């Protein structure tokens, strides 16, 4: 008898192919990456680090993890790399556990302005409950005002500053972040989860000279497995010679048990793929596509925040974000509702949608395809028959 679960997996894979995927944090991993995730490596326990495992039988696993680390260090230009975090949130928690004491001050961009939960979102998160949270905002135009941030940091003297975003459509000035952190002796953690593919693809400023620690997921613009890494930079080691050791200890045994070596192998494959000229072309195309889509929406009269990277936030009318996202879903176009800068609606009923181009760029789309997607989005918002658009999308996607 066929397992119902296998049928559901097939159905989901079909859905992914038949709809336009515009969630900026999503992508399509390569067959090699998928094969590694689904390999026999999932069977093995490997608590510890290469050469220092608690169980026997890890000689090959050690080679695998070491190869992933070597490829990642080369690609990112960091001095030390921990590839064991299960995902982006545990990676950030590990950095906080390694470098902060309870009630220390942690500074991050507000969630509603495009920050992440793990950057000190108050009350309900680990980082917001155990540390004193200082949150900065964006300006009405959607940009970070670095002078304001500098004043806030000088006033409050946080011990750790996060530079990293989930819905920020502009380039992050890591140099300025570095100067601001240095002015009060704070740790600067660059969380490049969303933009890592753009950074290694050479189309976004790298934080490697300016941050002490770099965290990132590997399943977003990097196109790897669900997982994350923590990198320690030269600047980080200069601030604290023990930094790499502290990070490793916080990941294991501080926060995690056995590493997911199947994901670690897949991460190594993704690092190799990201080192190719084809990946650089992909990164360049992700930006071109985002620009083309943003321009199309602007031409049709929408207020668009961005874009200088892979994503944009579009104002679709007060508290209309969720309804528009639902209407687009009915038309086989997948986006998410999102707050806009200085949101005036309730956070549960945001006024924007967030759109990103990495996934459809991976499927081979170019600027003219983005113009078409932009026009389809406008048609749906202006009340065109959703079923008609849904069928058109499904047919069209067969070309990619």
Ligand X SMILES: *Cc1c(COP(=O)(O)O)cnc(C)c1O
The active-site residue, picked from 226, 239, 303, 363, is 226
Instruction: Point out the catalytic residue in the list 18, 32, 44, 47.
Output: 47
Task: Report the residue number, 112 or 217, with the smaller CB distance to ligand X.
Answer: 217
Give the shortest CB-216-to-ligand X separation in angstroms. Answer: 8
223 is catalytic: no
SS3 content of the chain, % helix, strand, coil (to 5): 50, 15, 40
Q: Which residues contact residue 148 at a Cβ distance below 8 angstroms, ignoring those fewer than 6 apart?
A: 136
CA distances from 149 to 153, 165, 179, 225, 308 (A): 6, 15, 11, 34, 21
Q: What are phi and psi of 162, to 5 degrees?
A: -100, 130
CB within 8 A of 13, min separation 6: which ones? none
Spatial distance between the Cα atoms of 7 and 4, rounded to a whole number of angstroms: 5
Does 217 bind ligand X (CB under 6 A)? Our answer is: yes
Nearest to 321 by CA among 346, 296, 298: 346
In angstroms, give the least distance from the CB of 40 to ligand X.
Answer: 24
Handedness of CA 155, 99, 131, 129 (dihedral sign): positive
Q: Does 362 bind ligand X (CB under 6 A)?
A: no
Distances (CA, A) of 117 to 108, 125, 162, 324: 9, 7, 11, 24
Q: Is 194 in the site for ligand X (CB under 6 A)?
A: yes
Tokens of 194: 């969303």
Residue 308 known to be catalytic: no
CB of 217 to ligand X, least distance (A): 5
Q: Which of 137, 191, 261, 308 binds ligand X (CB under 6 A)?
A: 191
The reply to whether 372 belongs to the active site is no
Which residue's CB is nearer to ligand X, number 283 or number 380? 283
- Does residue 193 bind ligand X (CB under 6 A)? yes
Residue 307 among the catalytic residues: no
Say whether 47 is catalytic. Answer: yes
**Residue 116 is a binding residue for ligand X (CB under 6 A):** yes
Q: Is residue 307 within the footprint of ligand X (CB under 6 A)?
A: no
Contact 106, 127 (CB under 8 A): yes
Q: How far is CA 400 from CA 17, 217, 288, in A?
A: 9, 26, 18
| Binding to ligand X in span 55-94, by CB under 6 A | 87-89, 92
Among 19, 21, 25, 112, binds ligand X (CB under 6 A): 25
Which residue is at the shortest CB distance from ligand X? 88
Quote the least distance from Cβ 121 to ligand X, whole Å.
11
Q: Is 43 helix (H, G, I), strand (E, B) or coil?
A: helix
Position among 96, 166, 206, 351 found at the interface with ligand X (CB under 6 A): 166
Q: Stretches 60-68, 126-134, 189-197, 346-354: which one binds ligand X (CB under 6 A)? A: 189-197
- Active site residues per annotation: 45, 47, 191, 217, 220, 226
Q: Would you tell me which residues interact with ligand X (CB under 6 A)?
A: 25, 87-89, 92, 116, 118, 164-166, 191, 193-194, 217
């Amino acid at each position: 008898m066929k397992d119902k679960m296998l049928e559901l997996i097939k159905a989901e894979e079909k859905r992914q192919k038949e709809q336009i995927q515009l969630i900026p944090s999503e992508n399509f991993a390569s067959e090699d990456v998928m094969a590694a995730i689904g390999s026999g490596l999932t069977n093995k326990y490997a608590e510890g680090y290469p050469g220092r495992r608690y169980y026997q039988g890890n000689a090959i696993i050690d080679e695998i993890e070491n190869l992933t680390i070597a490829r990642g260090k080369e690609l990112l230009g960091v001095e030390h790399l921990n590839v064991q975090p299960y995902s982006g949130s545990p990676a950030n928690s590990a950095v906080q556990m390694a470098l902060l004491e309870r009630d220390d001050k942690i500074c991050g961009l507000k969630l509603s302005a495009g920050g992440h939960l793990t950057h000190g979102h108050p009350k309900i998160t680990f980082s917001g409950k155990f540390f004193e949270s200082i949150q900065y905002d964006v300006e009405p135009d959607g940009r970070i005002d670095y002078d304001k941030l500098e004043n806030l940091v000088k006033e409050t003297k946080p011990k750790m500053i996060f530079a990293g975003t989930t819905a920020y459509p502009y380039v992050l000035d890591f140099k300025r972040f570095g100067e601001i952190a240095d002015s009060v002796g704070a740790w600067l953690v660059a969380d490049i989860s969303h933009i890592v593919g753009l950074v290694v693809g050479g189309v976004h400023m790298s934080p490697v000279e300016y941050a002490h620690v770099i965290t990132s997921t590997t399943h977003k613009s990097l196109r790897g497995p669900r997982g994350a890494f923590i990198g320690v930079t030269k600047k980080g080691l200069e601030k604290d010679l023990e930094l790499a050791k502290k990070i490793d200890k916080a990941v294991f045994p501080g926060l995690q048990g056995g590493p997911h070596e199947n994901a670690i192998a897949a991460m190594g494959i993704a690092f190799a793929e990201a080192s190719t000229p084809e990946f650089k072309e992909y990164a360049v195309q992700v930006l071109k596509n985002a620009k083309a889509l943003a321009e199309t929406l602007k031409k049709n009269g929408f207020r668009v925040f961005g874009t200088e990277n892979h994503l944009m936030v579009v104002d679709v009318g007060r508290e209309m974000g969720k309804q528009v996202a639902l209407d687009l879903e009915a038309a086989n176009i997948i986006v998410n509702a999102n707050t806009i800068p200085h949101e005036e609606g309730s956070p549960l009923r945001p006024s924007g949608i967030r759109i990103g181009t990495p996934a459809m760029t991976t499927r081979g789309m170019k600027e003219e395809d983005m113009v078409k997607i932009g026009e389809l989005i406008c048609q749906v918002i202006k009340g065109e028959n959703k079923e008609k658009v849904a069928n058109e999308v499904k047919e069209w996607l067969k070309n990619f």
